[in-house]
Amino acid sequence: MCDWCEKYGDGYERWYFNPANYARRLYKIRREEAESSGAETNPQAAGGMAVIGPDFQEARDQGDLEKMQEIKQKAEAASWLTHFGQVITLEEALKIADMIYPIGLMTCSCRRSMQGYPSEENFTCMGMGPGMYKWERWPDTYRGGMHYLTPDEAKEVITKMNKRGLVQTVFTFGTPYLAGLCNCDYPDCAFIRTTVDFGIKLLWKGHYVAKIDPELCTGCASCVSRCQFKALNYSPSKNMAYIDQFQCFGCGLCVTECDQGAISLVERAKLPALANVW
């Protein structure tokens, strides 16, 4: 069980299946808390990102490990309190789409800021719950507007994005309030990039880990480019794919690519060495 299921699961199999974490009551409490503390209430206010800034890069360039560690700790603490994500599988994302209403499709701010993608080609981000009714308050964030989706439409969009190779994730906006159902990839996603490249955990691993059956793998390597977390590689000497399970985020994108059925997902909790690797 991850820390978040323990704190906010309330008996549900996963904390992101607990309807209370999407509730209007929580949205209201979090918003009022933010307002009374004078903090930025814009939904894009990403505490962890704000802490990292150029200082981390500078400390890295100078080899200042102490400073890097200090920034990492501050960024993670701020992120876990305000805005962080966790990887989920396609099946889990489809289940959430059936649970929460409304779901709005909007432009992805990571791709806009990291890659300069124009808004009209950039509808990969989904917002959930009562906060969606307030989107007009932040026109700069929701450039291109908001497209409300029925549950079936949301599931269709999520399935198409998974097929394209985008990872499904959930995001908090004032933890544990969950309001983001995102479709992300490396290096566009600032959260994947910060977590994988800098080791600053703004995106938590999911509840599964992938494993390969060497008897079934033919070494075609078509799964390798599906992995957004640098966990999946190809060994020319063995002529097969292999997974660094400590690096695997359990997204399942490789599973759906393998037509040999050689990759499967195992529950992290059932693997003693990985049960606490998040």
Return the ∠ at Cα 131 (arms to 178 and 187), rounded to 5°: 55
On whether the CB atoms of residues 141 and 109 are closer than 8 A, the answer is yes
Other residues' Cβ atoms within 10 Å of the Cβ of residue 121: 10
Min separation Cβ 191 and ligand SF4, Å: 5
**Nearest to ligand SF4 of 21, 68 (CB atom):** 21
Min separation Cβ 108 and ligand SF4, Å: 3
Please report the beta strands in the chain, taking only residues with DSSP state E, as ranges in sequence order: 85-87, 103-107, 123-128, 147-149, 167-172, 178-184, 203-204, 208-212, 232-235, 240-243, 263-267
**Nearest to ligand SF4 of 157, 223 (CB atom):** 223
**Nearest to ligand SF4 of 19, 219 (CB atom):** 219
Candidates 141, 105, 149; CA nearest to 125 is: 105
**And the tokens for 90?**
């396609």
DSSP-assigned beta bridge partners for residue 168: 183
**Nearest to ligand SF4 of 64, 145 (CB atom):** 145
Please report the beta strands in 141-231, taking only residues with DSSP state E, as ranges in sequence order: 147-149, 167-172, 178-184, 203-204, 208-212
Tell me how far apart the alpha carbons of residues 9 and 18 are, in angstroms, rounded to a whole number.
6
**Nearest to ligand SF4 of 68, 105 (CB atom):** 105
Min separation Cβ 47 and ligand SF4, Å: 15
Min separation Cβ 77 and ligand SF4, Å: 20
Min separation Cβ 59 and ligand SF4, Å: 24
**Nearest to ligand SF4 of 64, 156 (CB atom):** 156
Min separation Cβ 38 and ligand SF4, Å: 25
3-state class (DSSP) for residue 216: coil
3-state class (DSSP) for residue 172: strand
Which residues are near ligand SF4 by CB under 6 A?
108-111, 124-125, 182-184, 188-191, 210, 212, 217-223, 226-227, 229, 231-232, 240-241, 243, 248-254, 257-258, 260, 262-263
